[in-house]
Amino acid sequence: MRVLVTGGAGFLGSHLTDRLINDGHQVVVLDNFITGNPSNIGHLKGSPSFELVEADLCDGIPVDGTFDWIFHLASPASPIDYVELPFETLYVGSDGARHVLNRAVQDNARVMLASTSEVYGDPLVHPQVESYWGNVNPIGPRSVYDEAKRYSEALAMAFARYKGAQVRIARIFNTFGPRMRSNDGRVVPAFATQALMGKSLTVFGDGTQTRSFCFVSDLISGFIKLIESDLTEPCNLGNPSERTILDLAEHIHRIVDNPAPIAFRPLPEDDPTRRKPDITRARKHLNWEPVVSFEDGLEQTIDYFRNCL
Ligand code: UDP
């Protein structure tokens, strides 16, 4: 297979690229490095299975030939990134997705869109099942991301209905692992880096809000199973093991002996109160579920950040 990965130098994109190359595919990574990191794919330089194209997807896809699969992962994806890059986030979810979908139709390629649990907003249904339409503030600070992803799902479904595009939609829940940026603001890299530096862990709000954390290798195997499947409806991919942010802080304190007390900070606007995927659909149609325990994933992630310091 010849595969295009937009955002292939990012956290998820680079792990996906590694997996595809290991599976024997040819991969073209397209990235403009606004949040992606060249070092995530540096080890692939010189590989005959790998090509890097530095370009802004919003201007099109300046790559010849045809693709068999396309993964559209390009987007700022952490709350601090998309607040700092609001227009880039909106445009890559709209113009970028349009270029990807047009190319998929042109090449008769399968395309997987990286959507998000943020389409459920601050959910009123728990755990979140794909049939739930969500509770999103369309004008709040997170809306640049949430609505861009909701729009790209709508665009993908229109391409599937009216242009015959072979679309797969992954609704990705919180994922963690090596190659997250230590300064991307997300809770695992934030806490891991703070703990390793002997600083206070910054818990937003009272820490009773919940998330369900999936280790990156599990998510990537879900991507492959999804694009190989016949499932044309959106599919939640995440680990249903739900925990509070305070519990996460305590876990990290257990791994990294850090005497600094927790520092409570104000909860950001529209921060979802609870989040947990219902993965019945992924279990049934993809025969997929996470296999890496939270503890093992956290050890590997903390080791990665330890080496980065
Ligand atoms: N969070 C926190 N301290 C931090 C960063 C995040 O308490 O330094 C909280 C944040 O308010 C949210 C949860 O951790 O409730 C997950 O945040 P993250 O940015 O990782 O992802 P989100 O699920 O909000 O997109």
| Annotation says 82 is catalytic | no
* Ligand 1 nearest atom to the CA of residue 191, by list position: 8
Structural Rg of the chain based on CA atoms: 19
Which region, left, alpha or beta, applies to residue 277 given φ > 0 means left and ψ of -120 to 50 means alpha?
Answer: beta
Does the CB atom of residue 141 touch ligand 1 within 6 A?
Answer: no
Q: What is the pLDDT along the chain (309 residues), one digit of tens a residue?
A: 999 999 999 999 999 999 999 999 999 999 999 999 999 999 999 999 999 999 999 999 999 999 999 999 999 999 999 999 999 999 999 999 999 999 999 999 999 999 999 999 999 999 999 999 999 999 999 999 999 999 999 999 999 999 999 999 999 999 999 999 999 999 999 999 999 999 999 999 999 999 999 999 999 999 999 999 999 999 999 999 999 999 999 999 999 999 899 999 999 999 999 999 999 999 999 999 999 999 999 999 999 999 998
Relative to beta strand 242-244, strand 210-212 is antiparallel
CA dist 287 and 196 (Å) reads 37
CA dist 110 and 79 (Å) reads 29
- For a pocket test of ligand 1, which of 122, 186, 244 has the largest count of ligand atoms closer than 8 A to its C-beta? 186
> Which residue pairs from 13-19 have beta carbons closer than 8 angstroms and sit at least 24 positions apart in sequence?
13/40, 13/71, 13/73, 13/74, 14/40, 14/41, 14/179, 15/177, 15/179, 15/216, 15/217, 15/220, 16/71, 16/73, 16/220, 16/223, 17/41, 17/44, 17/50, 18/44, 19/220, 19/221, 19/224
- How much distance in Å is there from the Cα of 187 to the middle of ligand 1? 5
pTM of the model: 0.98
* Ligand 1 nearest atom to the CA of residue 267, by list position: 11
CA dist 19 and 17 (Å) reads 5
Instruction: Supply the pLDDT for residue 217.
Output: 98
Q: Are 35 and 179 in contact (CB under 8 A)?
A: no
Residue nearest ligand 1's atom 20 by CA: 186
Amino acid identity for residue 84 in this structure? E
Instruction: State the residue for tokens 């330890």.
Output: 306
Cα 78 versus chain centre, distance: 9
Instruction: Supply the pLDDT for residue 190.
Output: 97
Instruction: Supply the pLDDT for residue 56.
Output: 98
Does the CB atom of residue 271 touch ligand 1 within 6 A?
Answer: yes
Q: Are 237 and 279 in contact (CB under 8 A)?
A: yes
Does the CB atom of residue 270 touch ligand 1 within 6 A?
Answer: no
**3-class state of residue 176 by DSSP:** strand
Catalytic residue among 145, 151, 162, 304: 145
CA dist 105 and 10 (Å) reads 25
**3-class state of residue 24 by DSSP:** coil
- For a pocket test of ligand 1, which of 80, 209, 210, 245 has the largest count of ligand atoms closer than 8 A to its C-beta? 245
